[in-house]
A and B are shown apart, each in its own frame.
Chain A
Amino acid sequence: MHKFLILLKKEIKELITPQLVIPLIIMVFIFAGIGGLLSKETAETANQQKIWLVDYDNTAISQKVIESLENKNLEVQVFDNEIEKIIDQAQTNNIKFFLAIPQGFAKKINSLERADIIIYNLINNFSFVSSLKTAQVQSVLAIINQDLAIDWAGKIDLSITPQELNNPVIQQEYVVINDRQAKVPLTAVLGFVQQQTTFIPIILFLVIVLASQMVAMAVATEKENKTFETLLSSPISRKLIVFAKLLAAGIVALLFAGFYMIGFNYYLQGISGGQITQSGAGIQEALIALGIEFGITSYILLGLSLFMGILVALAIAMILGIMADSVKSIQAVTTPLMVIILIPYFLIMFLDIQAMSPIIKYLIYIIPFSHPFLAAQKIVTHEYSFIIYGIIYQLIIFLVFVIVAAKIFSSDKVFTLRLGRKK
């Protein structure tokens, strides 16, 4: 046991190199930075309370439009000079859009005719945040439409509100998951779940790839430096060497997973900004009714599935590392493993596995790395037995590969196995 700890300590020391740690820290900062930027811009956009409005009509009706905006706590700045000058001014003031009420607006509205409002969008980039502005323009227009519609409704003496006129059918949406149901819009549920689960596969993928590269690199480096031969001639069992390497890479990988999660969490907080709190309270109860809450069990199962996935990848990477001629050929040797990890990642992220043909479905289940990705989805629907079978399956695959690795390590194959052509 004492010797195992000595080995383990050395393995971890060898793995945690500046080349590995620095990109990781940069990664966390980048995630956090993007998240911070996004939340700042989101907040700015949401808070752009100042609306520029060009009033070429200058009538009671156009005045009413301005008032209805002001009633919604929007600060309206009114102009009536030439449009080119206003555009110039808007650009220098970093205004993203403004409205113009053309002449004859009131005349049309008064005769129950639809009238035009012109929207000038001033764009200087096509980022995700830009798309938030459309939403703001739409909400400003909705305010105007609503007030003018009430006006019309009064004129033609309707007993129902304009909203009712527009929507004779009332939408009552239920979401059903297994035997639970709740009255809640689907988009609200999906939004919440995706926020919780999209980052898991991404981290999972990064960690598995990173860990396998690490262990393959560690084995190939030991072979190249002949430190491996030194170890094999020392009075410690070869099984200990194998386990120390696997465990060290596993520990370091999990540590890194933790870092990535912290970084990604910042990022998520950034993009979701205030949105969660807005929708939060209402759908919270619905989510609980649906059983969509991530309890301890969910996280333990997901964590186990993830850890098993990492271990399987490590065991395979270890064998691949033995086959590498030199440290330089690590990339080439581990490529097949990366592909096997990428396949379930993409399929599960973007497709509905349940809807696929049974053959494809089972092919995906056979790939051990599918299971952590699947588990990230199945915890939502509480399909725990599926996750547990997945974990057991991964454990079996892991043991098979560890036995193969240990066999190779305790024979001359550790020196003679090579991938591809012999030199």
Chain B
Amino acid sequence: MEKILEVKNLDKYYGKFQAVKNVSFNIDENEIFALVGPNGAGKSTILKTIATVLSLEHGDIFVAGENLKKQAKKIRKIMSYLPEEAGAYKNLTGNEYLNFMAGLYADNKQEQRAIFEFGQDLSGLKNKLKNKAKTYSKGMTRKLLLARTIMTKPRLAILDEPTSGLDVINSLEIRKVIKNLAAQGMAVLLSSHNMLEIEFLSEKLSIIDQGEIKITGSPQELKNKYNSNNLEEVFINVSGK
């Protein structure tokens, strides 16, 4: 199967502080892949670097075979990123926000319209899309942003803690949407500090701690290897805490 993402020997520094240490992993097409680890492990830093938000200085990243150092612009068109704890523009309505973002990805008006209408559908917010984003609850905002992320039908969707801070119902709905993405031909790279939800969501994951990947595999493989009942136990075993 073709690889949609290859990360090779990625290091990332904030000044002198090394937040990411020699990280490598691959994602296949149609795969849901998760980076799991505690707060401050370096998950967001890795995702931002892949999303071209932070610069790539040490290591290599390939998206759909294209070198991110050389083809960043091309890659941005086939990739989409949902930042952690993100909001929408306060003075724009849900519709205006979706339409604005569609405009940035589309080459012409028809394409913009198609992306926008797909986004409206995906959000499930219906009439609420006419209201300003500042009136939205956390759950509604997350749905709007998730719809924005996937309405362009990216080949790789990067979701940073997509369910964090949401209540049970909203988390469940978001997870359902994500599960469906793979079926629609998208690959998903997501992060979470909630190890239990990842078991249900992802086919493959890396456990990351203090900037390093400790182990990679399917949830079942990892549990078997460490003879654990759940991923939390696996994490405690690999991190030696």
Contacts and interface: CB of A to CB of B under 8 A. Distances in A.
Interface in A220-263: 221, 224-227, 229-237
Given A3-B103, A14-B92, A236-B104, A227 B87 contact: yes
Contact of B86 (A17, A227, A235, A416): A227
Interface size band for A = 20 to 34
Contact of B83 (A7, A230, A235): A230
Given A411-B55, A412-B54, A226 B91 contact: no
Contact of A229 (B81, B92, B105): B81
A235 B101 CA distance: 10
A132 B88 CA distance: 57
Contacts of A236: 104
A221 B90 contact: yes
Interface size band for B = 20 to 34
Interface string B91-125: 11000100011011100000000000000000000
B51 A227 contact: no
Contacts of B128: none
A355 interface: no
Contact of B92 (A13, A221, A230, A231): A13
A416 B82 CA distance: 20
B79 A233 contact: yes
A219 to B, nearest CB: 13
B85 interface: yes
Nearest to A237: B73
24 contacts: A10-B89, A10-B100, A13-B91, A14-B90, A16-B91, A225-B89, A226-B84, A227-B86, A227-B88, A230-B81, A230-B83, A230-B148, A232-B51, A232-B52, A233-B51, A233-B52, A233-B80, A233-B158, A234-B76, A235-B73, A236-B104, A237-B73, A412-B55, A415-B54
Interface of A: 2-3, 6-7, 9-10, 13-14, 16-17, 221, 224-227, 229-237, 411-412, 415-416
Interface of B: 14-15, 48, 51-55, 73, 76-77, 79-92, 96, 100-101, 103-105, 148, 158
